[in-house]
Chain A
């Protein structure tokens, strides 16, 4: 187990290094000059060159990367080109909002996905089952931008049940969480349905029923916990998907997380922020996958980590 953990940690570090190199190079070859973005329209060529020199952007790319990595290893993500604030501060200020949203999304996808999956399984072959599976298919394929605007329009504007975007209270969290979670909910309802159907066919369920236990009791006490297991392990993987989704969802709902920060930084070629958010997300994804792998043997003792 310890050897496995050490190997995985080294792998993770290498992945993060790779992410940083690739992102840095991609940003470097981008046909857009960050200095021009900082200098604005009225800057004279001397002002532009001065800013370039001050930021060290006149150096060769490997020197720039070396500086960046050195700083990163010392916990310094640099300063935003346009805001002048420390990237670490900007990310730290926004990370709680993103984590809240991800937590909300996980809850939403499990709550919706598992419930619908169980209902579908129990009604196998009936119109309700077919309807739910079509709905789940739609949920998986719907673009988040559309879902977000649709939910906003119906539940916030027309019905007025929720605030129209913003951040702060639980009611602000609900619509963005559902938007983020709806794709996962679609997947999970399908997985839950088939997992549930497998379990319901298992011998011990028949035994439980034969003992004379009620149908609901069998489903809730015996079938559900077993059917859920394979799904729990998937949640770690969701973090990666969510990290992509936050950019869109946070922008639409005005959610002050790191996705919004990244989106604004990309438009203005604010490289330190783009690097910072990319590395933070990569860390989250690597960590999520690692946790998912570590949890699996606890859930299913048949799996051993080597």
Chain B
């Protein structure tokens, strides 16, 4: 027996289907903008791309079954016009939007959805995101290569696809909105093979027009896009290989519309103190937390008192000042804009005397030596020095190890780093759900060698609570689920494997002619900006 059930977020979106799709009254179609980036765009293959800069480009070239309201974390239907979930939460039936065409002119059908999900979980694809699909029935067999394709994904008819799960998963619809689940046409993937990422064909608002390797990419408007009137721009040119400082100079010169890498730290004060320029900077929260991990399996951090003392010793306000107030102090793992954030939690107060007392309680009144690992790019070594100073106040003498990113990640994964300042490698949510901050970085699975749980913190009770929370799939359980997650993070703070330091804010600068709601420029999902809905006014 199946019952029609739609999550609260979605029913809201369905009740007002035109809310975000309605053209912005001020929007003017047409125009071409220039975005710059320092690093190459590695690939536009949605099964593979997992970079800062290609993330929202892929979102503009491809679509998933689910999508988000522009500028928000609210789910809405994408390629699926509607869906049903069975009462036990184990079966989802998606009804595809009719008449959606790939850039090659062929109509997108249910078979493409199945092909795309089979492809991303096929070990030969080497997708970094394969693990997100672990709740789909048949994932283990497909991922290990024992079976070809996911047995849980069935094509009912060309317009209907059914996905069976092996366990209820409250994050499943977010997964269906994640880049890795985006729908690709089989014939194009087979034609280009491993080079599909350089010749992407999707259903998205833009198609790739031109790609000169190492120089630029040109995205052209898809005139047949399934949302009428979208996108506004005729084309987007992404210029590659420009230092952030150079990009800023060019923006000031009127040659660039959005510097993709943001405002370089060294220029931040200068820009913000000029009212004309500051007015063109959009500030927004992001799903990011910067933290110090303490390896709970090695002394002195095997003692909870020491970990709590560290939490109390850090002067977070001073650290935030050091980075020109580009962040807000944090007291828990979740960032404030994430559902499930505990707003009334006070956190560990900055209190050196109390911290010293905790150290004495732990039998370390005479102090202790340790190491603090940090990524070697500005401002991280400076932040590490501030942390080092704060820690020395309570007798923890931390030696700073500033290394390249890959080396810090390695030391964190294999457990040889007692403390790590996460700057430059910190967790930014893949999708806006509290569970995304737990499993890989605080759960037992991530504590395995090579995992991203650098504190090596593993609390079986919390793992069980997390599984239970993600099993709450019914619409009327949504609030209970968020409070369950809030409890989990509060327990984490009691054990204190991390000292949360700050939540970075995003600052996107744009040229005077760029139009569209500010939220589009700090879109929590389409990072850095939502290319589909911005426009130019001139």
Measured CB to CB, the residues of A under 8 A from B are 30-33, 36-48, 50-51, 53-55, 79-80, 82-85, 89-90, 93-94, 97, 149, 152, 156-157, 164-167, 250-257, 260-261, 264, 267-269
Contact = CB atoms under 8 A, between A and B. Distances in A.
Given A43-B129, A84-B43, A167-B215, 4 more contacts: A41-B427, A47-B143, A252-B243, A254-B239
A48 B445 CA distance: 13
B224 interface: no
B10 interface: no
Contacts of A269: 406
B131 A46 contact: yes
B466 to A, nearest CB: 15
B406 A32 contact: yes
B40 A44 contact: no
A187 to B, nearest CB: 27
B21 interface: no
A47 B128 contact: yes
Interface in B178-224: 194-195, 197-198, 212-215
B450 A33 contact: yes
A165 B246 contact: yes
B430 interface: yes
B406 A50 contact: no
B448 interface: yes
Interface string B372-393: 0000000000000000000000
Contacts of B255: 164
A267 B406 CA distance: 8
Interface residues of B, number: 54
Given A50-B143, A94-B213, A269-B406, A84 B134 contact: no
B123 interface: yes
B144 interface: yes
B169 interface: no
B452 interface: yes
Interface string B451-491: 11000000000000000000000000000000000000000
B406 A37 contact: yes
B48 A84 contact: yes
Nearest to A252: B243
29 contacts: A31-B407, A31-B411, A32-B404, A33-B409, A41-B430, A41-B440, A43-B129, A47-B127, A47-B128, A47-B131, A48-B450, A51-B128, A53-B123, A79-B194, A83-B43, A84-B45, A84-B194, A85-B195, A89-B213, A93-B214, A149-B245, A164-B250, A164-B253, A164-B255, A165-B243, A254-B240, A254-B242, A256-B212, A257-B214
B40 A261 contact: yes
Given A79-B194, A268-B406, A40 B242 contact: no
A55 B123 CA distance: 11
Contact of B241 (A43, A80, A255): A255
A274 B242 CA distance: 21
Contacts of B406: 30, 32-33, 36-37, 267-269
A257 B240 CA distance: 12
Contact of A251 (B239, B243, B407): B243
B214 A94 contact: yes
A227 to B, nearest CB: 39
Interface in B421-439: 427, 430
Contacts of A42: 128-129, 131-132, 430, 440
Nearest to A84: B194
B250 A165 contact: yes
A79 B243 CA distance: 26
For the complex of A and B, the 4 pairs showing the least CB-CB separation, nearest first, are: A32-B406, A256-B214, A44-B131, A40-B128
B274 to A, nearest CB: 15
Given A40-B50, A41-B452, A54-B126, A32 B409 contact: yes
B126 A83 contact: no
Interface in B221-266: 239-243, 245-246, 249-250, 253, 255
A38 B126 contact: yes
Q: Counting chain B CB atoms within 10 Å of each CB, which of A42, A85, A269 scores highest?
A: A42
